[in-house]
Amino acid sequence: MFKKIKRIVNELRVNQRKTLAAQEKNRYAQEQVYASNKLSAILPKSHFIPETGWSMTPKALLHCLNIIQIQKASTIIEFGSGASTIYIAQILKNQGVDATFYSVESDLDWKAAIEKQLEVLGLDTYVSLVHCPIVRVSKELLYKEQQTWYDTKVLSNEIGAAIFDFVLVDGPFGGSTPYARYSAYPFLKDHSHTDTVWFLDDTGRPMEREIIQTWQAESNLNVSLYKRYGVMASASKFDASPYAFQ
């Protein structure tokens, strides 16, 4: 009798876990659809933006735009051009503010493809696309087994003395070297201020999660982790995360 009760209890627990997992999966899908609808309303006309398994999720993109709008970010840099470049340029145009936006890309062909889309949408004057090759990283900027990062000579020449309100890190490609995205914080910490917001995509992966946790230890800023990305900012910053389904 006892064994039968124990088996029933175990089955109930398994079913409960399955139900909770299904609910979480459904909630995540709803949030992505909601974010997609919000994003589709940003562009002034029907325009297809390619998205792949490597792309930022709609919710992550919407979160970035929320930060820019709510925090009134006017000096922005992103590492890794893509859909985010187009949406950020569009929201800067929509706001009609005087802003500076750098998008750093290592692949010349992809940079050309993004430039073409920006031109079609009339957004090419709202972003400076920077081609920056991947080179061996200096000792001052590396972490553990990391070997490469963007060419800092090119970056320094482009950004000058800029102080950034928002930093979006979605490059280099995570498989290019261990801890490929670590160097963004140590390189830009002197180009930031106490209210700068740092956004790291792909923190669902172990190395990216370790990167943002290391940034937190080095900066004493707060970190909020989401399903596939993380945000680092001062405790006083308003929560700009998109609507969460219950």
> Is the pLDDT score of 245 beyond 90?
no
| pLDDT value of residue 153 | 98
| Mean pLDDT computed over 67-74 | 94
Inter-CA distances, 49 with 93, 121, 183, Å: 18, 11, 29
Question: Mean pLDDT in the chain?
Answer: 88
Inter-CA distances, 82 with 65, 117, 129, 190, Å: 14, 10, 11, 26
Cα separation, 184 vs 145, in Å, equals 16
Q: What angle do the packed helices 58-70 and 83-95 form, to 10 degrees?
A: 30
| Mean pLDDT computed over 144-152 | 98
> Is the pLDDT score of 12 beyond 60?
no
Contact between 212 and 203 (Cβ < 8 Å): yes
Q: Which of 48-62, 145-159, 170-184 has the lowest mean pLDDT?
A: 48-62
